[in-house]
Protein backbone atom coordinates (compact mmCIF):
# COMPACT_ATOMS: atom_id res chain seq x y z
CA UNK A 1 0.00 0.00 0.00
CA UNK A 2 1.43 3.37 -0.96
CA UNK A 3 1.52 6.41 1.29
CA UNK A 4 -0.03 9.76 0.37
CA UNK A 5 2.34 11.88 -1.71
CA UNK A 6 2.58 14.48 1.08
CA UNK A 7 4.33 12.03 3.44
CA UNK A 8 8.07 11.39 3.68
CA UNK A 9 9.27 8.14 5.27
CA UNK A 10 12.06 8.71 7.77
CA UNK A 11 15.11 6.56 8.28
CA UNK A 12 15.09 4.77 11.64
CA UNK A 13 18.88 4.82 11.76
CA UNK A 14 18.51 8.19 13.51
CA UNK A 15 15.91 9.38 16.06
CA UNK A 16 12.75 10.46 14.26
CA UNK A 17 12.14 13.16 16.92
CA UNK A 18 14.89 15.31 15.38
CA UNK A 19 13.01 15.73 12.10
CA UNK A 20 9.91 17.61 13.29
CA UNK A 21 8.81 19.49 16.37
CA UNK A 22 6.87 17.97 19.25
CA UNK A 23 5.25 19.57 22.29
CA UNK A 24 6.50 18.44 25.70
CA UNK A 25 6.44 19.69 29.27
CA UNK A 26 9.74 20.84 30.75
CA UNK A 27 10.36 20.08 34.42
CA UNK A 28 13.27 20.36 36.83
CA UNK A 29 14.03 17.03 38.49
CA UNK A 30 15.81 17.34 41.82
CA UNK A 31 17.93 14.66 43.48
CA UNK A 32 20.25 14.48 46.48
CA UNK A 33 23.98 14.09 45.82
CA UNK A 34 26.05 11.56 47.76
CA UNK A 35 27.88 14.41 49.52
CA UNK A 36 24.59 15.93 50.76
CA UNK A 37 24.29 18.64 48.11
CA UNK A 38 21.49 18.74 45.58
CA UNK A 39 21.30 18.41 41.82
CA UNK A 40 18.67 19.84 39.48
CA UNK A 41 18.28 18.87 35.85
CA UNK A 42 15.70 19.79 33.19
CA UNK A 43 13.80 16.86 31.66
CA UNK A 44 11.29 16.98 28.82
CA UNK A 45 10.48 13.28 28.52
CA UNK A 46 8.48 13.52 31.74
CA UNK A 47 4.81 12.97 32.50
CA UNK A 48 2.14 11.36 34.69
CA UNK A 49 2.11 7.60 34.15
CA UNK A 50 -1.45 6.83 35.15
CA UNK A 51 -4.71 8.53 36.13
CA UNK A 52 -3.53 8.19 39.71
CA UNK A 53 -0.42 9.61 41.39
CA UNK A 54 2.46 8.15 39.40
CA UNK A 55 5.12 10.14 37.57
CA UNK A 56 7.99 9.14 35.32
CA UNK A 57 10.83 10.63 33.35
CA UNK A 58 13.50 9.40 30.97
CA UNK A 59 17.18 9.80 31.83
CA UNK A 60 20.45 8.19 30.89
CA UNK A 61 22.20 6.09 33.57
CA UNK A 62 25.32 8.16 32.85
CA UNK A 63 23.72 11.23 34.44
CA UNK A 64 23.87 12.08 38.11
CA UNK A 65 20.08 12.40 38.21
CA UNK A 66 19.67 8.68 37.53
CA UNK A 67 22.48 7.69 39.89
CA UNK A 68 21.21 9.90 42.73
CA UNK A 69 17.60 8.75 42.39
CA UNK A 70 18.65 5.10 42.36
CA UNK A 71 20.85 5.56 45.44
CA UNK A 72 18.45 7.69 47.50
CA UNK A 73 15.17 6.22 46.27
CA UNK A 74 13.52 9.64 45.86
CA UNK A 75 13.31 12.62 43.52
CA UNK A 76 11.42 15.91 43.25
CA UNK A 77 9.77 17.62 40.30
CA UNK A 78 9.32 21.39 39.85
CA UNK A 79 7.22 22.74 36.96
CA UNK A 80 8.71 26.12 35.93
CA UNK A 81 6.78 29.08 34.55
CA UNK A 82 7.66 30.66 31.17
CA UNK A 83 9.53 33.52 32.85
CA UNK A 84 11.86 30.93 34.41
CA UNK A 85 13.26 29.81 31.07
CA UNK A 86 16.72 31.20 31.91
CA UNK A 87 17.13 29.42 35.23
CA UNK A 88 15.75 26.25 33.66
CA UNK A 89 18.44 26.52 31.01
CA UNK A 90 21.12 27.09 33.66
CA UNK A 91 20.19 23.76 35.26
CA UNK A 92 21.29 22.07 32.02
CA UNK A 93 24.85 23.45 32.25
CA UNK A 94 27.58 20.79 32.31
CA UNK A 95 29.59 19.90 35.38
CA UNK A 96 33.12 21.17 35.81
CA UNK A 97 36.07 20.73 38.13
CA UNK A 98 38.82 18.17 38.19
CA UNK A 99 36.44 15.21 38.37
CA UNK A 100 33.41 16.89 36.78
CA UNK A 101 31.76 17.04 40.20
CA UNK A 102 30.74 20.68 40.45
CA UNK A 103 27.73 22.35 38.84
CA UNK A 104 28.19 26.01 39.87
CA UNK A 105 25.16 27.24 37.94
CA UNK A 106 22.95 25.57 40.54
CA UNK A 107 23.80 28.43 42.90
CA UNK A 108 21.66 30.70 40.68
CA UNK A 109 18.55 28.58 41.29
CA UNK A 110 16.73 29.51 44.53
CA UNK A 111 15.34 26.44 46.27
CA UNK A 112 13.45 25.41 49.38
CA UNK A 113 13.23 22.03 51.15
CA UNK A 114 10.75 19.35 50.15
CA UNK A 115 8.29 18.33 52.87
CA UNK A 116 8.25 14.52 52.69
CA UNK A 117 11.31 13.32 50.74
CA UNK A 118 14.94 14.38 51.12
CA UNK A 119 15.27 16.96 48.37
CA UNK A 120 14.67 20.52 47.23
CA UNK A 121 12.11 22.34 45.10
CA UNK A 122 12.76 25.37 42.88
CA UNK A 123 11.21 28.66 44.00
CA UNK A 124 8.71 30.37 41.71
CA UNK A 125 7.36 27.27 39.97
CA UNK A 126 3.64 26.53 39.85
CA UNK A 127 3.49 22.77 40.55
CA UNK A 128 5.68 20.54 42.71
CA UNK A 129 5.84 16.77 43.17
CA UNK A 130 7.75 14.75 45.73
CA UNK A 131 8.25 11.16 44.61
CA UNK A 132 9.55 7.85 45.89
CA UNK A 133 11.29 5.82 43.19
CA UNK A 134 9.40 2.56 42.65
CA UNK A 135 11.13 1.03 39.65
CA UNK A 136 13.22 1.67 36.57
CA UNK A 137 12.83 0.42 33.02
CA UNK A 138 16.33 0.18 31.63
CA UNK A 139 17.88 -0.73 28.29
CA UNK A 140 15.97 1.81 26.20
CA UNK A 141 18.88 2.24 23.78
CA UNK A 142 21.08 3.72 26.50
CA UNK A 143 18.28 5.42 28.41
CA UNK A 144 16.01 4.49 31.29
CA UNK A 145 12.50 5.31 32.47
CA UNK A 146 12.36 6.14 36.19
CA UNK A 147 8.93 5.59 37.73
CA UNK A 148 7.99 7.23 41.02
CA UNK A 149 4.94 7.30 43.26
CA UNK A 150 3.88 10.85 44.18
CA UNK A 151 3.94 11.09 47.99
CA UNK A 152 3.37 14.86 48.23
CA UNK A 153 2.17 17.53 45.79
CA UNK A 154 1.95 21.31 46.03
CA UNK A 155 0.43 23.87 43.65
CA UNK A 156 0.69 27.65 43.68
CA UNK A 157 -2.61 29.27 44.55
CA UNK A 158 -2.71 31.19 41.25
CA UNK A 159 -2.44 27.96 39.24
CA UNK A 160 -5.10 25.99 41.11
CA UNK A 161 -8.22 25.05 39.14
CA UNK A 162 -11.52 25.70 40.86
CA UNK A 163 -15.20 25.96 39.96
CA UNK A 164 -15.28 29.75 40.36
CA UNK A 165 -12.83 30.40 37.54
CA UNK A 166 -12.94 29.46 33.86
CA UNK A 167 -10.06 27.25 32.72
CA UNK A 168 -9.26 29.46 29.71
CA UNK A 169 -9.06 32.51 31.99
CA UNK A 170 -6.69 30.68 34.32
CA UNK A 171 -4.34 29.71 31.48
CA UNK A 172 -4.49 33.21 30.00
CA UNK A 173 -3.59 34.87 33.30
CA UNK A 174 -0.96 32.29 34.27
CA UNK A 175 0.57 30.84 31.06
CA UNK A 176 2.22 27.45 30.81
CA UNK A 177 5.76 26.64 29.67
CA UNK A 178 6.02 24.18 26.78
CA UNK A 179 9.24 22.68 25.39
CA UNK A 180 9.31 22.22 21.61
CA UNK A 181 11.91 19.53 21.04
CA UNK A 182 14.50 20.08 19.73
CA UNK A 183 15.71 23.26 21.44
CA UNK A 184 12.76 25.65 21.27
CA UNK A 185 10.08 26.69 23.75
CA UNK A 186 6.65 28.27 23.68
CA UNK A 187 4.32 30.12 26.02
CA UNK A 188 0.79 28.73 26.16
CA UNK A 189 -1.63 31.49 27.11
CA UNK A 190 -4.71 30.52 25.09
CA UNK A 191 -6.75 27.33 25.15
CA UNK A 192 -10.04 25.88 23.97
CA UNK A 193 -12.23 23.14 25.34
CA UNK A 194 -11.62 19.80 23.62
CA UNK A 195 -14.73 18.50 21.80
CA UNK A 196 -15.16 15.23 23.67
CA UNK A 197 -17.96 13.03 22.31
CA UNK A 198 -21.10 12.54 24.40
CA UNK A 199 -20.70 9.70 26.88
CA UNK A 200 -16.89 9.77 26.75
CA UNK A 201 -15.18 8.04 29.67
CA UNK A 202 -11.48 7.77 30.31
pLDDT tens digits along 155-196: 999 999 998 899 999 999 999 999 999 999 999 999 999 999
* pTM of the complete model: 0.93
Cα end-to-end span (Å), the chain: 33
Instruction: Give pLDDT, residue 107.
Output: 81
126 in any annotated domain: yes
Instruction: Give pLDDT, residue 93.
Output: 81
Collect the ranges in the chain with pLDDT lower than 70. 95-102
Number of domains present in the structure of the chain: 1
Q: Which residue spans within the chain are E strands per DSSP? A: 22-24, 27-32, 38-43, 46-48, 54-59, 74-79, 111-113, 120-122, 127-137, 144-155, 176-181, 184-188
Find the domain containing 157 and state its range: 22-188
SS3 state of residue 77: strand
5 in any annotated domain: no
- Give dist(CA 48, CA 147) in Å, integer: 9
147 in any annotated domain: yes
- The answer to whether 68 touches 146, Cβ cutoff 8 Å, is no
15 in any annotated domain: no
125 in any annotated domain: yes
The H-or-E segment that residue 2 falls in is none
114 in any annotated domain: yes
Instruction: Give pLDDT, residue 95.
Output: 66
Instruction: Give pLDDT, residue 101.
Output: 61
36 in any annotated domain: yes
Closest-CA residue to 136 (of 19, 49, 18, 35)? 49
Residues in contact with 6: Cβ distance below 8 Å, sequence separation at least 6, in sequence order: none
In CATH, what number is assigned to the domain containing residue 167?
A: 2.30.110.10
111 in any annotated domain: yes
Amino acid sequence: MSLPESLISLSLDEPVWERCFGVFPLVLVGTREADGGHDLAPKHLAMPLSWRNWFGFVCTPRHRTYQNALRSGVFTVSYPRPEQVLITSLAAAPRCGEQQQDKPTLQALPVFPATVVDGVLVEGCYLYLECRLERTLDELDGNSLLIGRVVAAHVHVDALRDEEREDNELIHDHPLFAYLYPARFAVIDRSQGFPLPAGFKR
